[in-house]
């Protein structure tokens, strides 16, 4: 027989200010199976919890209802409290008298009180049918998978490895480093990006506990927190990295050319290449598409018609250790992991939708990342900033901000956060390269929140003499070797016209190619812009709604290097916390199947968004389903899909919910 | 060749070679208008088998009760869709079932208020003459146009035109008669549940009382469970001892699903059921389902 205790919290005046507490207590006392009801100033306080414990013992309560705030806030607190009094923690039900009654009916004391009584009655009806639940323990694979080797992923991998756990770092391109490796200097301190990044890259390359898989991608992930299994595709490099010395003779002599992805197309690379001099690993890959020998093989396969391409194989002839391996094939590597971090970073907005800026049409309209490459001492021009059209140094440079940011009309309502700062940086750097340069920045607002950021923008204005013009650019066109930029100075209320040598578009930040596919593989959510979504924007910023999967860096939204690094470390802390456990308690509020009733229609399997439903063949040959409790999130979709009612949700059983509804509609 | 003889020959062969344990077909009924299901286990018995316009029963439903053995079954086009339905819903193993498909001229059946033999209205409107799945075909396949869903039955259109009050009256009169024998459910290939919602006590979706509101509930929920799954074999209507027009109810829902999703259940075993499927990034417009 259920012996239910009801505890009504005042929450200071939050509830008591509106709801007539004594009346709720009196009504609660009259409910069936309720043997005790009381009210507390703050049930969550030390005093309140003690009173709860004492009442459980004194009245031999075996079920508890607490009328207080949202279970999101204090359910855990109270579960622990009732557990410490010897009760199964799942024999507790919370009625949300604050968010659902007092706060929403602030000026209607009577209505709020009646509703509070209803909510208590429903909670009593539900808890009376509650069953004790027990968390199952599962083991943990003490290895982490970090996807994406930008600064966020690098930091995260290093922190986890230095804490003593194994890490596999998977990077899609031939080298780690990400966007930061492409940058020249970094705001607000102007330290050289490569100088601060490369030591970390080398540390990753040398770390005994980090296995680095570059030129690789995660294709499939199965399992659940503590017990993931991932299929990682290692793309064929055609270079045996165990033999390769990284001497560089091959990429110095390779005759084939392709636009360099790393240089954002303003430079070229060879077909066998490392993306940049300090790449980690410092060993090359062969890009099959541009390799002449591969083109030759392709021509042979296609029937050897038309002009015969050169058979090349120069790299093979020159390699002193015979590392070139034409037979190498893509290879699938399967590994087990306890935790996964997604740090897949960003790409920049495709500016071609803004025809008025002339990007793509006029060679001297470039993007900010291209300018970084032109300014970089290791870039295609060795740090000499020149115009793509004629190789002349530009003297007048116009920057256009918010290209694909803060613009609903192109589906990018958000601020890319780093552009204002890097525009200031780039204008300062141009002045340092050549004191004759005059920069103009068309801006909407200057966003410079952050330590020393506002000062940095001031430095651009005052020391570098950068002219900030508030307004949008309406058109750009070439005239006599210059680019005429028409815009509006909205502060002065007049049109402006600048004859520029170079126009730089501050293209906004958006998630990397393939972010959605990866998110779907991992069962994590993404927003309308395909940025990955954190479990809570304030309190759980690097977690996802899928246990054991974490986020870091710009894959979840625009941010600068300090924030990406902080997130990398934060995600690492979460991963270490997880991997340091030997076992994990599984949430017991999951679905369960009554195999007798299950007809094996597998409708539930189709609706389950977490792939938590497997099939099993019984001894009599019947096929029924089984819940993978590690994956089930207790969403209840399967329960509603099941026609014969074989599915039920622990802690939210059909019986409990119907009793609750009945109590509410009494 | 005579359809009956073709079936007998095949049945004999299957039983003699031991390919199947039993052949489910039809034999002559006692009332002259309804053939009766025959379960033939011995080759010597095959001459009992017949096929003609009295063979109304959907025999595919019996497969639900013979899951363990290899079985041969005689199916008409609508019954063959039931086989795909059962297969698609994982209720049968396809390689355990040998399908003898019959090209169907339409069937008769006892119809209230109709004297003598007359094709069922659904058969009169039917455009599917060839089975959609079979291992052996009996009869000459009929050339068919695109399997576009036929227009709604005239009787359903009549119902739609009624003012809501009158339509409500119509259904009340239908459901009031129901004696809750559940013959419709037993005859239905889509009713596969081990425990029907109508028998559940906790939660008690439908009261056990036999009265209009409870009956109404029973038929409504059952219709929803069959929406997008009912292959309109008429088995429920044929089974009902008080001639409730379940065919009209199911036809209405089947028609809606066909319109909305461009989908007819049972046409293949692989198709996803539109009302029971969760597809990533599913953003379909009206009628786009089956073509997607
Ligand atoms: C022009 C410009 C100038 C900037 N200047 C500054 C500055 O001065 N100071 C500053 O603080 N910030 C600056 N930033 C911002 C800075 O670039 C980012 O904050 C930082 O690079 C984010 O790092 P990340 O690791 O999150 O992403 P990324 O650097 O984008 O790294 C992500 C990595 O993941 C890899 N990847 C992607 N998808 C997959 C996949 N599916 N599988 C495996 N690997 C994958 C990518 O190849 C990449 O290596 C600037 C940005 C721009 C555009
Ligand atoms: S409750 Fe949700 S997550 Fe769990 S098995 Fe059912 S559908 Fe999947
Ligand atoms: S929906 Fe129900 S009956 Fe169908 S497989 Fe799932 S649990 Fe079994
Ligand atoms: S067969 Fe007829 S009487 Fe029997 S339950 Fe079905 S509708 Fe009711």
Q: Which residues of B touch A655 (CB under 8 A)?
A: 202-203
How many CB atoms are located within 10 Å of the residue B206 CB?
Answer: 22
Give me the pLDDT at residue A609, please.
80
Residue A1 has pLDDT above 90, yes or no: no
Give how far the C-alpha of residue A634 lies from the chain's centroid of Cα atoms, to the nearest Å.
23
Pair of tokens at residue A208: 């005994």
pLDDT at B292: 53
**A172 and A51 within one domain:** no
pLDDT at A12 over 80: yes
Q: Is the CB of B177 under 6 A from ligand 4?
A: no
CATH number at residue A56: 3.40.50
**Could you tell me if A368 and A465 lie in one domain?**
yes
User: Looking up tokens 């659904």, which residue turns up?
Assistant: B122
Same domain, A95 and A167: no
Let me know whether A222 and A340 are in one domain: yes
Residues of B in contact with A641 (CB under 8 A): 276
* pLDDT at A538 (0 to 100): 94
The predicted model gives A546-550 an average pLDDT of 94
Spacing, Cα B242 to ligand 4 middle (Å): 7
pLDDT at A482 (0 to 100): 96
User: For chain A, what is the mean pLDDT?
Assistant: 95
Q: Is the minimum CB–CB distance between A623 and chain B shorter than 8 Å?
A: yes
Domain that holds residue A496: 348-510
| Domain assignment present for A665 | no
* Integer Cα distance of A379 and A385 in angstroms: 10
pLDDT score at A61: 97
Kindly list the protein residues whose Cβ atom lies closer than 6 A to any atom of ligand 1. A 147-153, 170-173, 178-180, 183, 186-187, 217-218, 343-346, 348, 368-369, 372, 418, 422, 425, 512, 514, 518, 553-554, 559-562, 564
Chain A contact present for B192, CB below 8 A: yes
> What number is the average pLDDT over the span A194-221?
97
* Co-location of A338 and A319 in the same domain: no
Using one digit for the tens of pLDDT, what is the confidence trace for A124-162? Answer: 999 999 999 999 898 999 999 999 999 999 999 999 999
Contact A433, A441 (CB under 8 A): no
Interacting residues of A115 by C-beta distance below 8 A, sequence separation 6+: A100, A101, A105
In this structure, is residue A664 part of a structural domain?
Answer: no
Q: Is residue A519 a part of any domain in this protein?
A: no
The token pair that represents A192 in the structure block = 């050289």
Q: What is the pLDDT of residue B36?
A: 94
- Of A84, A108, A127, which closes a domain? A127
Q: Taking CB atoms and an 8 Å cutoff, what residues of chain A touch B90?
A: 600-602, 623
**Alpha carbons A273 and A248: distance in angstroms, whole number:** 9
Nearest-CA neighbor of A451 among A561, A569, A572?
A561
Nearest Cα to Cα of residue B244 among B176, B185, B163: B176
The confidence score (pLDDT) of residue B287 equals 67
User: How far apart are alpha carbons A85 and A79 in whole angstroms?
Assistant: 10
Alpha helix ranges (H) inside B162-233: 164-176, 183-187, 212-226
Indicate if A565 and A536 belong to the same structural domain.
Answer: yes
Residues with Cβ within 8 Å of residue B235, at least 6 apart in sequence: B57, B58, B61, B184, B187, B188, B189
CATH of the domain at A375: 3.50.50.60
Position A656 in a domain: no
Please give the distance, rounded to the nearest whole angstrom, from the Cα atom of residue A604 to the centre of ligand 3. 6
Domain limit, last residue, from A510, A536, A560: A510
C-beta neighbour count of A333 within 10 angstroms? 15
Q: Do A645 and B272 touch (CB under 8 A)?
A: no
In this complex, the residue of B89, B197, B278 whose CB is nearest that of residue A607 is B278
Nearest to A13, CA basis, from A38, A46, A41: A41
CB pairs under 8 A between A and B: 50
Q: Which residue of chain B has the CA closest to A516?
A: B281
CB A337 within 8 A of CB A145: yes
The atom of ligand 3 lying closest to the CA of A605 is: 6
Whether residue A658 is contained in a domain is answered as no
Together in a domain, A386 and A490 = yes
Using alpha carbons, select from A115, A75, A72 the residue that is nearest to residue A97: A115
DSSP conformation class of B96: G
| DSSP code per residue over A245-285 | ----HHHHH---EEE-TTTTTSSEEESEE-SSTT-SS-S-E
Same domain, A576 and A620: no
Residues A578 and A620 in one domain: no
Burial B254-288 (b: 16+ CB within 10 A, else e): bbebbebbbbbbbbebebbbbbbeeeeeeeeeeee
DSSP-derived 3-state class of residue B63:
helix
pLDDT digits (tens, 9 = 90+) for A290-347: 999 999 999 999 998 888 889 999 999 999 999 999 999 999 999 999 999 999 999 9
**Judgement on whether residues A359 and A282 belong to the same structural domain of the protein:** no
Asked if residues A610 and A637 have their Cβ atoms less than 8 Å apart, the reply is: no
CATH number at residue A643: 3.30.70.3270
Are A493 and A366 members of one domain?
yes
Taking residues A620-638, report their average pLDDT.
89
Quick one: angle between helices A193-206 and A151-162, nearest 10? 40
Mark yes or no for CB contact B203/A603 under 8 Å.
Answer: no
Predicted local confidence at residue A414, as pLDDT? 97
**Residue A93 domain flag:** yes
Looking at chain A, the whole-number percentage of residues with pLDDT higher than 90 is: 92
pLDDT, position A611? 85
ipTM: 0.82
**pLDDT tens track for A236-290:** 999 999 999 999 999 999 999 999 999 999 999 999 999 999 999 999 999 999 9
The tally of domains found in chain A comes to: 5
What pLDDT does B284 receive? Answer: 67
Residue A182 has pLDDT above 60, yes or no: yes
A567 domain-assigned: yes
Interval A46-62 mean pLDDT: 97
The neighbouring-strand residues paired with A63 are A4
**What confidence score (pLDDT) does residue B274 get?**
85
Same domain, A220 and A254: no
Q: Of A555, A583, A611, at which residue does a domain stop? A: A583
Q: Average pLDDT, stretch A73-87? A: 96
Confirm whether A565 is domain-assigned. Answer: yes
Which residue ranges of chain B lie beneath pLDDT 70? 1, 145-150, 278-287, 289-292
């Amino acid at each position: 027989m259920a012996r239910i205790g009801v505890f009504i919290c005042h929450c200071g005046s939050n509830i008591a200010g509106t709801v007539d507490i004594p009346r709720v207590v009196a009504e609660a006392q009259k409910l069936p199976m309720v043997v005790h009801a009381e009210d507390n100033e703050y049930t969550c306080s030390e005093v309140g919890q003690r009173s709860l414990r004492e009442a459980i013992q004194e009245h031999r309560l075996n079920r508890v209802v607490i009328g207080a705030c949202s279970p999101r806030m204090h359910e855990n607190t109270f579960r622990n409290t009732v557990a410490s009094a010897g009760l199964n923690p799942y024999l507790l039900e919370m009625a949300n008298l604050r968010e659902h009654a007092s706060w929403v009916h602030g000026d209607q004391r009577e209505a709020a009180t009646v509703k509070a009584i209803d909510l208590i009655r429903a909670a009593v009806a539900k808890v009376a049918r509650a069953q004790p639940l027990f968390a199952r323990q599962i083991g943990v694979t003490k290895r982490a998978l970090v996807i994406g080797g930008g600064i966020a992923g690098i930091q995260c991998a290093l922190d986890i490895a230095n804490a003593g756990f194994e890490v596999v770092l998977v990077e899609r391109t031939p080298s780690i480093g990400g966007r930061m490796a492409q940058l020249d200097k970094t705001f607000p301190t102007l330290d050289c990006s490569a100088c601060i990044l490369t030591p970390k890259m080398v540390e990753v390359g040398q770390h005994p506990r980090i296995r680095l898989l570059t030129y690789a991608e995660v294709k499939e992930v199965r399992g659940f927190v503590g017990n993931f299994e991932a299929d990682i595709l290692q793309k064929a490099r055609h270079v045996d990295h165990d033999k390769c010395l990284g001497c560089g003779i091959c990429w110095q002599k390779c005759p084939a050319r392709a636009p360099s992805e790393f240089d954002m197309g303003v430079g070229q690379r060879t077909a066998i290449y490392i993306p940049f001099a300090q790449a980690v690993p410092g060993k090359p890959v062969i890009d099959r598409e541009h390799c002449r020998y591969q083109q030759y093989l392709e021509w042979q396969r296609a029937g050897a018609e038309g002009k015969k391409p050169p058979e090349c194989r120069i790299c093979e002839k020159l390699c002193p250790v015979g590392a070139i391996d034409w037979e190498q094939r893509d290879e699938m590597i399967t590994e087990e992991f306890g935790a996964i971090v997604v740090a897949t970073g960003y790409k920049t907005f495709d500016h071609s939708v803004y025809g008025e800026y002339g990007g793509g049409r006029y060679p001297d309209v470039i993007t900010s990342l291209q300018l970084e490459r032109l300014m970089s001492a290791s870039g295609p021009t060795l740090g000499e900033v020149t115009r793509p059209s004629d190789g002349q140094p530009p003297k007048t440079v116009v920057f256009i901000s918010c290209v694909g940011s803060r613009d609903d009309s192109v589906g990018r309502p958000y601020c890319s956060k780093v552009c204002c700062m890097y525009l200031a940086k780039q204008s300062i750097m141009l002045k340092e390269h050549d004191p004759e340069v005059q920069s103009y920045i068309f801006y909407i607002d200057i966003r410079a929140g952050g330590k020393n950021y506002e000062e940095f923008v001031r430095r651009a204005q005052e020391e570098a003499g950068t002219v900030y013009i508030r307004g949008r650019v309406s058109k750009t066109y070439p005239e006599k070797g210059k680019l005429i930029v028409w815009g509006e100075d909205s502060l002065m209320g007049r049109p402006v016209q600048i004859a520029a040598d170079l126009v730089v578009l501050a293209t906004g930040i958006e998630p990397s190619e393939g972010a959605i596919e990866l998110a779907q593989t991992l069962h994590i959510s993404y927003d309308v812009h395909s940025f990955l979504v954190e479990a809570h924007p304030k309190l759980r910023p690097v977690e996802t709604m899928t246990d054991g999967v974490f986020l870091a860096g710009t894959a979840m939204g625009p941010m600068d290097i300090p924030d990406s690094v902080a997130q990398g470390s934060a995600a690492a802390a979460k991963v270490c916390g997880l991997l340091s456990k030997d076992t994990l308690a599984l949430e017991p509020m999951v679905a369960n199947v009554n195999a007798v009733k299950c007809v094996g229609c597998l409708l539930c399997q189709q609706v389950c968004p977490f792939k938590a439903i497997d099939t099993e063949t019984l001894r009599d040959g019947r096929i029924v389903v089984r819940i993978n409790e590690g994956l089930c999130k207790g969403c209840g979709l399967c329960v509603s899909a099941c026609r014969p009612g074989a599915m039920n949700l622990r802690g939210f059983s059909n019986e409990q919910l119907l009793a609750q509804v009945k109590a509410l509609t009494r | 060749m005579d359809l009956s003889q073709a079936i007998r020959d095949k049945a004999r062969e299957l039983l003699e070679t031991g390919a199947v344990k039993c052949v489910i077909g039809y034999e002559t009924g006692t009332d002259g208008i309804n053939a009766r299901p025959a379960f033939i286990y011995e080759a010597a018995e095959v001459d009992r088998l017949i096929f003609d316009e009295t063979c109304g029963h959907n025999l595919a439903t019996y497969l639900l009760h013979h899951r363990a053995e290899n079985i041969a079954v005689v199916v008409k086009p609508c019954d063959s869709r039931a086989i795909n339905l059962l297969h698609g819903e994982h209720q049968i193993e396809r390689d355990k079932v040998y399908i003898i498909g019959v090209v169907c001229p339409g069937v008769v059946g006892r119809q209230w208020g109709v004297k003598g033999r007359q094709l069922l209205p659904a058969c009169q409107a039917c455009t599917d003459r060839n089975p959609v799945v079979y291992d052996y075909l009996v009869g000459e396949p009929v050339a068919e146009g695109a399997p576009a869903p036929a227009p709604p039955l005239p009787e359903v259109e009549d119902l739609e035109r009624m003012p809501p009050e009158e339509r409500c009256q119509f259904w009340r009169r239908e459901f009031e008669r129901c004696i809750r024998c559940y013959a419709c459910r037993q005859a239905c290939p889509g009713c596969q549940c081990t425990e029907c919602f109508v028998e559940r006590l906790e939660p008690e979706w439908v009261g056990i009382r036999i009265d209009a509101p409870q009956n109404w509930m029973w038929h409504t929920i059952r219709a929803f469970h069959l929406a997008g799954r009912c292959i309109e074999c008429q088995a429920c209507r044929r089974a009902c001892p008080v001639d409730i027009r379940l065919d009209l109810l199911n036809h209405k829902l089947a028609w809606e699903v066909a319109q909305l999703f461009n989908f007819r259940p049972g046409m293949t075993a692989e198709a996803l059921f539109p009302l029971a499927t969760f597809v990533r990034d599913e953003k379909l417009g009206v009628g786009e389902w089956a073509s997607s």
